[in-house]
């Protein structure tokens, strides 16, 4: 990823000679992140497609990742650690969602547990980008809870197995919040 990002960055730099060193480094870092995430998604898509579980993977990725963007969560120390932890989480969510149809009352209880976890622990700081402002932290907390409520509501409009998968994805993202909080404390 780093080599490809470097090649693209050099091409951009040739076309924009007025870029500062910081801008060039920022572009390269952004490209490395983007390419890394695209690579992971393509590999995950291939894996879940081999087992004819593509739609459940997409549901998992959408519900888990959408909430994670605002609420935060556990972060592995390395790219490959992240790759395998995410694969394990997505595999568990899809497996539970497909193998264990969740009755309505279980989905509702799962959502309530998730909302409580989000309310208590969100937002969780990213190790490289802590939230310093209390106003911003409060805003992200409310956005996290509102997004969890919205995603939960949307999940009930899906067919049974997909709905269960979505609810489990929300739960796993919510569980990643206290796990992330615990691991952050150990790192610092």
Q: For the chain, which residues make up each domain, given as ranges? A: 1-12+22-40, 51-187
- Which of 169, 161, 56, 55 minimizes the C-alpha distance to 111? 169
Looking at per-residue confidence, does 145 or 185 come out higher? 145
Looking at per-residue confidence, does 70 or 131 come out higher? 70
Query: pLDDT grade, residue 12 (50/70/90)?
Result: confident
Average pLDDT over residues 122-140: 87
Query: pLDDT grade, residue 125 (50/70/90)?
Result: confident
Looking at per-residue confidence, does 87 or 184 come out higher? 87
Neighbours of 171 (CB within 10 A): 20
Looking at per-residue confidence, does 11 or 85 come out higher? 85
- For tokens 């693209």, the residue is 8
Query: pLDDT grade, residue 139 (50/70/90)?
Result: very high
Q: What is the DSSP letter of 128?
A: T
pLDDT reading at 187 higher than 70: no
Tokens coding 171: 């739960």
Query: pLDDT grade, residue 23 (50/70/90)?
Result: confident
pTM, rounded to two decimals: 0.88
């Amino acid at each position: 990823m780093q080599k490809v990002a470097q090649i693209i960055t050099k091409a951009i730099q040739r076309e924009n000679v007025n870029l500062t060193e910081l801008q060039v480094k920022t572009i390269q870092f952004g490209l490395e992140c983007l390419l890394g995430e695209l690579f992971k998604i393509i590999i995950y898509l291939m894996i879940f497609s081999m087992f004819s579980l593509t739609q459940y993977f997409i549901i998992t990725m959408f519900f888990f990742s959408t909430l994670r963007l605002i609420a935060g969560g556990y972060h592995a120390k390395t790219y490959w650690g992240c790759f395998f932890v995410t694969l394990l989480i997505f595999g568990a969510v899809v497996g539970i969602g497909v193998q264990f149809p969740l009755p309505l009352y279980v989905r509702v209880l799962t959502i309530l547990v998730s909302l409580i976890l989000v309310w208590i622990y969100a937002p969780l700081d990213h190790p490289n980008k802590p939230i310093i402002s209390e106003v911003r932290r409060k805003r992200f907390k409310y956005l996290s809870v509102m997004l969890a409520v919205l995603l939960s509501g949307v999940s009930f409009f899906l067919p049974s197995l997909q709905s269960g998968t979505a609810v489990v994805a929300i739960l796993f993202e919510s569980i990643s919040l206290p796990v992330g909080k615990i691991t952050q404390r150990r790192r610092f």
